[in-house]
Amino acid sequence: MKLRKLCCFLPACLILHGFLPASAQTIEHNSWLFWSHQQKISERWQFSADVQVRSADKMEYVNTLLIRPGIGYKISDNKTITMGYTYFGTWDKENDNKNYELENRIFEQFQIENEIRRTEITNRFRYEQRFLDQQNNKAFAQRFRYYLQAQIPLLANPLFTKGFYLSVQNELFLNVQGKNQVNDHFFDQNRSYAGPGYRFSENLDLEVGYMFRYQIMKEENLRNNILQVVIKTSF
């Protein structure tokens, strides 16, 4: 029953944008390559790192690089708190010239992991301090993110240490402070994702799926159709 409610909740988050004011819409088609790693340091401490490379519309060129290291502490078997830093660099073409913009972030995170009938459920709460540098204008903003994911085994062994699965997730972004520096809205964006994956071992997952991102911007709203390739490792 809980799993059924979860699968209904994830796509329902997309309805949020229906309550937002109407504005010009832009549709883009992108691809994202995402690597996520967790390294155990001790019984309680762990190091985590995410690296993401994103393409511009229609995969014309690479326009975004994200690097996000962090240090986490397990307060219990299924609960972890993490603090880290994010480098977020973007390159946009204008008259055949690439303009570079940098955003530095500090983040605090609380993650809960549970299992329901072998389905792995992840709830993640992340709070970000954003130091923006947009066209030489420096600004500060804070953002809250809530992420919910289910990894549902399909053709897998009884312990779900190997085999095919379905990954379904949704992430909601809210501007808590400095929204006038971002898009003048409390709602920032929503990302919904679904795709098949294969677990090679307890240390390696590979996924290829579709993500729909709806993002509110100052002059127009952006709809992204994204092909995402995800590699997850842990040691």
Q: What is the pLDDT of residue 7?
A: 47
Q: What is the pLDDT of residue 67?
A: 98
CA distance 27 to 38: 34
Q: What is the pLDDT of residues 164-197, one digit of tens each?
A: 999 999 999 999 999 999 999 999 999 999 999 9
Averaged confidence pLDDT in the chain: 91
CA distance 222 to 30: 12
Residues 6+ apart with CB under 8 A from 60: 93
From residue 25, how far is each of 179, 198, 222 by CA, in Å? 20, 35, 6
Contact status, residue 173 vs residue 190, Cβ threshold 8 Å: yes
CA distance 195 to 193: 7
Neighbours of 62 (CB within 10 A): 13
Residue 9 has pLDDT above 80, yes or no: no
Bridge partners (DSSP) of residue 43 are: none
Domains (ranges, CATH) in the chain?
A: 2-234 (2.40.160.40)
Best CA proximity match to 85, nearest among 104, 57, 100, 72: 104
Contact status, residue 112 vs residue 126, Cβ threshold 8 Å: no
Residue 25 has pLDDT above 80, yes or no: yes
Contact status, residue 50 vs residue 77, Cβ threshold 8 Å: no
Structural tokens at position 78: 């299924």
- Give the length of the chain: 235
Question: What SS3 state is found at 220?
Answer: coil
Average the pLDDT over 33-57 and give the result.
97
pLDDT band at 42 (very low <50, low <70, confident <90, very high): very high
Q: Is the pTM of this model over 0.85?
A: yes
CA distance 204 to 161: 10
Q: What is the pLDDT of residue 135?
A: 73
Average the pLDDT over 193-203 and give the result.
98
Q: What is the pLDDT of residues 130-146, one digit of tens each?
A: 999 977 789 999 999 99
CA distance 190 to 216: 9
Q: What is the pLDDT of residue 14?
A: 44
Question: What SS3 state is found at 7?
Answer: helix
Contact status, residue 131 vs residue 101, Cβ threshold 8 Å: no
Best CA proximity match to 88, nearest among 48, 129, 58: 129
